Amino acid sequence: MPELPEVETVVRGLRNLITGRTVSRVTQCAPPSSIVVSPAFGRRTFEAILRGRTIRSITRRGKNILIALSGDITLWAHLKMTGRFLHLDQSVPLDKHDLVSFDFASNGSDSSLHVRFNDYRRFGRLRVYPDHELWQQDGLRDLGPEPLEITAEEFVELCHRRSRQIKAALLDQSFLAGLGNIYADESLYYSRIHPKRLTGSISRKKLLELHGHIQYLLRLSIDSMGTSVNTYSGVNGKPGSFQSYLKAYNREGEPCERCGKGLTREKIGSRSAHYCRHCQRER
């Protein structure tokens, strides 16, 4: 699943491309489960609601993309596992996984634009809500602080507030919004913290170190346009390059760069964790 750096890369790509543009046409090929329309719009279709509205701003909250449109409504997108926004020429034939196409009118100096939402596993979601309803929705209202905005001391307090396994905590979007398996595994590896360590047992000094590594790795990945290990790409169709920096994630059996021993992949709860048993001791 695209995590904070990948979603931020998509947000920046869309922001540069379509901010200020007006939606001229929306073509929906998605199954009903992929599209959610607030009951506040009555019987109006997804296409009819968006048509003629202008993109005011595009922001990110956790792993969510929030596209604010004129008329005080927001198109809320979540990429889930394989969702992608792609800027393509309108002449490119539709792919069977192109679920929604958006056409944007020319703005005088530039020609019209064509963007598609593509998702071959079809877990991604596009939702449209009036702004006054948006932050009441599940998936937004309970999000934790942003990892790049929380201070070091706030992070320590958050970890010590309730004792739980650190890997599970980092993946909990109500704890921190935006982290997933990749950056949780990498930051724990850099900090030499076992993924099963209880947050209440980790010293303040070690948590300060973890906070620093989380922010460093997220910023480095954003600069690298994210991690492409499966299907992820930016709006321009280009993959990210942060996978070349990975030290633990997806490297089961490979030698640890610090001690040379083989890296481990272990299922913890319902998620996999990649770590070094020698450098990241449980006790």
Question: pLDDT tens, 170-195?
Answer: 999 999 999 999 999 999 999 999 99
pLDDT category at 213 given cuts 50, 70, 90 is very high
pTM, 2 dp: 0.95
Identified catalytic residue from 5, 8, 21, 63: 63
Provide mean pLDDT across the span 64-85: 97
> Tell me, what's the pLDDT at 204?
97
Both tokens assigned to 47: 């296409």
CA–CA separation, 116 vs 77, rounded Å? 13
Cβ neighbours, 10 Å, residue 270: 7
> Tell me, what's the pLDDT at 111?
84
**Secondary structure in 3-state letters for the chain:** CCCHHHHHHHHHHHHHHHCCCEEEEEEECCCHHHEEECHHHCCCCHHHHHCCCEEEEEEEECCEEEEEECCCEEEEEECCCCCEEEECCCCCCCCCCEEEEEEECCCCCCCCEEEEEECCCCCCEEEEEEHHHHCCCCCCCCCCCCCCCCCHHHHHHHHHHCCCEHHHHHHCCCCCCCCCHHHHHHHHHHHCCCCCCEHHHCCHHHHHHHHHHHHHHHHHHHHCCCCCCCCCCCCCCCCCCHHHHCCCCCCCCCECCCCCCECEEEEECCEEEEECCCCCCCC
**Over 90: is that where the pLDDT of 283 sits?**
no
Identified catalytic residue from 12, 265, 271, 277: 271
**Residue 278 near residue 264 (C-beta atoms within 8 A):** no
> Tell me, what's the pLDDT at 58?
98
> Tell me, what's the pLDDT at 33?
86
> Tell me, what's the pLDDT at 229?
82
> What confidence tens digit (pLDDT) does each residue in 4-21 have?
999 999 999 999 999 999
The closest of 250, 249, 232 to 241, measured between CA atoms, is 232
**Secondary structure in 3-state letters for 191-257:** HCCCCCCEHHHCCHHHHHHHHHHHHHHHHHHHHCCCCCCCCCCCCCCCCCCHHHHCCCCCCCCCECC
Q: Is 257 a catalytic residue?
A: no
User: Which amino acid is residue 161, in one-letter code?
Assistant: R
Provide mean pLDDT across the span 139-150: 98
Q: Is 3 a catalytic residue?
A: yes
What is the gyration radius of the CA atoms in the chain, in angstroms? 20
CA–CA separation, 216 vs 210, rounded Å? 10
Of 64-73, 101-110, 145-154, 176-185, which range is least confident? 101-110
Identified catalytic residue from 3, 6, 8, 186: 3
Q: Is 219 a catalytic residue?
A: no
> Tell me, what's the pLDDT at 119?
94
| 152-275: CATH class | mainly alpha
**For the chain, domain boundaries:** 4-134, 152-275
Identified catalytic residue from 2, 5, 147, 195: 2
User: Which amino acid is residue 179, in one-letter code?
Assistant: L
* CATH of 4-134 among 3.30.365.10, 1.20.1090.10, 3.40.190.10, 3.20.190.10: 3.20.190.10
> Tell me, what's the pLDDT at 196?
97
Q: Is 84 a catalytic residue?
A: no
